[in-house]
């Protein structure tokens, strides 16, 4: 097995954002991975380790709780290697992702929420229960699997350091499992401890408070369902030691930012990418952007997976052209 099939994704300067915020903005386009998502990286690393350690036998079933993208990576690689996949998603998952999972050969179960292993109705609890009660099943468990962080430490971080020629000053990523920002953050700060690592999460998520206080809030509001980011529990894959600050945005801001970016650039961005754009609008003064900074935005997937949710005008046009009521 080789990691050559994932990673080495394009990196480009975004002139629109650079001019708008008078700084140097760059985009890491992860939707060029095999299943159009950054989650291919941890999916492959987790599958590879499980097979190498004999934790699953040939023909077995890989199980994951996912907002869609990790599940799709698991399903894609499992099928290629002769395994099955069972993916648990929450009811907020886009119909495009669910369709893609089923097309990749996954069995999909839709759950009430993704609130962690303590909640009987969550994707995580259902995935763990399934793996425990079905022979030759393995729960990859992206929220606590060390390979999640390792995949980004070994691939994404080095790619960014090379692609920026070591000039990167800031890295901004959405936080869901914590694997991306933790793995990239660890690698980049080893190269230059002055690099700033910023995270973005939905309003009501608890990670920003945990980063600041080191404590898990006893009470918290329900967080905005921005697909792929935000948590009501602290994932084991989140390393607070390498994150400098976490900004919060609400779902309406993210959707507006996505549509504005489409108008300016013609590009469709996914929910968590849109959250990064919204964070620039809401927190630009706090960020203290300058012309000398080299800021990398991590775009983990493509807006085509959210057309029915974010880009309703395109969705309506598509239905009309296909004569679908």
Catalytic one of 23, 35, 37, 39: 39
Flag whether 325 is in a domain. no
325 is a catalytic site residue:
no
Flag whether 247 is in a domain. yes
Catalytic one of 272, 273, 279, 309: 272
- As to burial, measured by CB atoms within 10 angstroms (0-12 exposed, 13-18 middle, 19+ buried), residue 325 is exposed
272 is a catalytic site residue:
yes
Flag whether 148 is in a domain. no
The model's pTM is 0.93
244, 168: one domain: yes
The Cβ of residue 144 has, within 10 Å, a number of other Cβ atoms equal to: 14
Domain count, the chain: 2
120, 193: one domain: no
278/112 Cα distance (integer angstroms) = 27
249/21 Cα distance (integer angstroms) = 18
CB 30 within 8 A of CB 300: yes
18/72 Cα distance (integer angstroms) = 33
Range of the domain at 71: 40-139
175, 285: one domain: yes
Flag whether 150 is in a domain. no
Spell out the per-residue pLDDT of the chain, length 325, in tens.
Answer: 554 589 999 999 999 999 999 999 999 999 999 999 999 999 999 999 999 999 999 999 999 999 889 999 999 999 999 999 999 999 989 999 999 999 999 999 999 999 888 899 999 999 999 999 999 999 999 999 999 999 999 999 999 999 999 999 999 999 999 999 999 999 999 999 999 999 999 999 999 999 999 998 876 667 888 999 999 999 999 999 999 999 999 999 999 999 999 999 999 999 999 999 999 999 999 999 999 999 999 999 999 999 988 997 765 554 455 455 4
Among the residues of the chain, which ranges form H helices? 15-21, 40-52, 69-80, 95-103, 123-133, 146-151, 157-163, 179-191, 207-213, 251-265, 271-287, 312-321
Flag whether 323 is in a domain. no
Q: What is the CATH number of the domain that holds 96?
A: 3.40.50.1100
67/226 Cα distance (integer angstroms) = 10
Instruction: Return the H-helix or E-strand segment holding 84.
Output: strand 84-90
């Amino acid at each position: 097995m080789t990691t050559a099939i994932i990673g080495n994704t394009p990196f480009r300067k975004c002139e629109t954002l650079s001019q708008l915020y008078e700084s140097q903005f760059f985009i890491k386009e992860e939707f060029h991975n095999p299943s159009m998502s950054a989650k291919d990286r941890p999916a492959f690393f987790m599958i590879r380790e499980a097979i190498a350690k004999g934790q699953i036998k040939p023909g077995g079933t890989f199980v994951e709780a996912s907002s869609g993208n990790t599940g799709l990576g698991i399903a894609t690689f499992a099928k290629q290697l002769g395994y099955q996949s069972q993916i648990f998603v929450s009811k907020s998952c886009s119909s495009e992702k669910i369709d893609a999972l089923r097309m990749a050969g996954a069995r999909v179960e839709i759950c009430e929420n993704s609130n962690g292993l303590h909640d009987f109705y969550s994707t995580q609890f259902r995935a763990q229960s399934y793996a425990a009660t079905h022979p030759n099943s393995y729960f990859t468990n992206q929220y606590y699997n060390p390979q999640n962080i390792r995949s980004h430490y070994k691939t994404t971080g080095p790619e960014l350091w090379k692609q920026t020629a070591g000039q990167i000053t800031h890295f901004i990523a959405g936080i869901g499992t914590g694997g991306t920002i933790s793995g990239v953050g660890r690698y980049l700060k080893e190269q230059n401890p002055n690099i700033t690592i910023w995270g973005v999460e939905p309003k009501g998520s608890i990670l920003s408070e945990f980063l600041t206080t080191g404590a898990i809030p006893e009470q918290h509001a329900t967080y905005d369902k921005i697909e792929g980011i935000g948590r009501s529990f602290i994932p084991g894959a989140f390393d607070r030691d390498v994150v400098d600050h976490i900004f919060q945005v609400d779902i309406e801001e993210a959707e507006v930012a996505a549509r504005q970016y489409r108008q300016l650039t013609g590009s469709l961005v996914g929910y968590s990418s849109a959250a990064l754009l919204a964070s620039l609008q809401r927190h630009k003064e706090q960020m203290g952007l300058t012309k000398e900074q080299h800021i990398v935005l991590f775009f983990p997937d493509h807006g085509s997976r959210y057309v029915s949710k974010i880009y309703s005008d395109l969705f309506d046009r598509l239905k009309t052209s296909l004569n679908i009521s």
